[in-house]
Amino acid sequence: MPTSLASQPNANEAFWVEARSTYDSLDWQRRFTKQVFNFIRQQAAWLALTSPPTTDVRLLDYACGPGIVSLSMLPYVTSTLGMDVNPHQVSEYNRRASGANLPTTLCHATTGDLITTPVDPALSTAEFTSFDYAVCSAALHHMDDPAAAVARLADRVKVGGKVVIIEFLAKDEDVPAGEEERRRMNEEYRLRSHDNTHLVAGPMPPSQHGLKHGHGHGHEHSHEHSHEHSHEQGHGHEHGEGEGRHRHGPHGFKLEEMRGFFAAAGLVDVKSVIAPEKIVIEGFGEWDSFMMQGTKA
Ligand SMILES: C[S@@+](CC[C@H](N)C(=O)[O-])C[C@H]1O[C@@H](n2cnc3c(N)ncnc32)[C@H](O)[C@@H]1O
> Ligand 1 within 6 A of 21 CB?
no
Closest CA to 66 of 113, 119, 25: 25
**What pLDDT shows up at residue 237?**
37
Mean pLDDT calculated for residue range 199-206: 42
Angle 240-136-217 from CA coordinates, rounded to 5°: 75
If phi over 0 gives left and psi between -120 and 50 gives alpha, with beta otherwise, what is residue 9? beta
**What pLDDT shows up at residue 175?**
65
DSSP 8-state symbol, 253: B
Local confidence band at 198 (pLDDT 50, 70, 90 cut-offs) = low
Higher pLDDT, 222 or 191: 191
Instruction: Check pLDDT > 60 for residue 218.
Output: no
For the chain, what percent of residues have pLDDT higher than 90? 66
270 CB-near residues (< 8 Å, 6+ apart): 222, 223, 224, 259, 262, 263, 292, 293, 294
Q: Which of 133-137, 177-181, 262-266 has the lowest mean pLDDT?
A: 177-181
Higher pLDDT, 242 or 29: 29
Mean pLDDT calculated for residue range 225-233: 34
Q: Which of 10-24, 79-93, 124-138, 195-209 has the lowest mean pLDDT?
A: 195-209
Local confidence band at 178 (pLDDT 50, 70, 90 cut-offs) = confident
DSSP 8-state symbol, 254: -
Residue 36 CA, closest ligand 1 atom number: 8
65-96 b/e (C-beta count within 10 Å ≥ 16 → b): bbbbbbbbbbbbbbbbbbbbbbebbbbbbbbb
> Ligand 1 within 6 A of 35 CB?
no
Higher pLDDT, 176 or 152: 152
Mean pLDDT calculated for residue range 159-187: 84
Mean pLDDT calculated for residue range 172-188: 75
Residue 86 CA, closest ligand 1 atom number: 25
Instruction: Check pLDDT > 60 for residue 34.
Output: yes
Most confident of 18-27, 86-95, 209-218: 86-95
Closest protein CA for atom 3 of ligand 1: 138
> Ligand 1 within 6 A of 190 CB?
yes
Instruction: Check pLDDT > 80 for residue 117.
Output: yes
The amino acid sitting at 282 is E
> Ligand 1 within 6 A of 289 CB?
no
**What pLDDT shows up at residue 195?**
73
**What pLDDT shows up at residue 187?**
83
Contact (Cβ atoms closer than 8 angstroms) between residue 177 and residue 236: yes
Local confidence band at 192 (pLDDT 50, 70, 90 cut-offs) = confident
pLDDT tens, residue by residue, 45-76: 999 999 999 999 999 999 999 999 999 999 99
**What pLDDT shows up at residue 204?**
38
> Ligand 1 within 6 A of 89 CB?
yes
Residue 89 CA, closest ligand 1 atom number: 27
Dihedral, 119, 246, 176, 252 alpha carbons, nearest 10: 70
Residue 116 CA, closest ligand 1 atom number: 19
Mean pLDDT calculated for residue range 8-18: 96
> Ligand 1 within 6 A of 138 CB?
yes
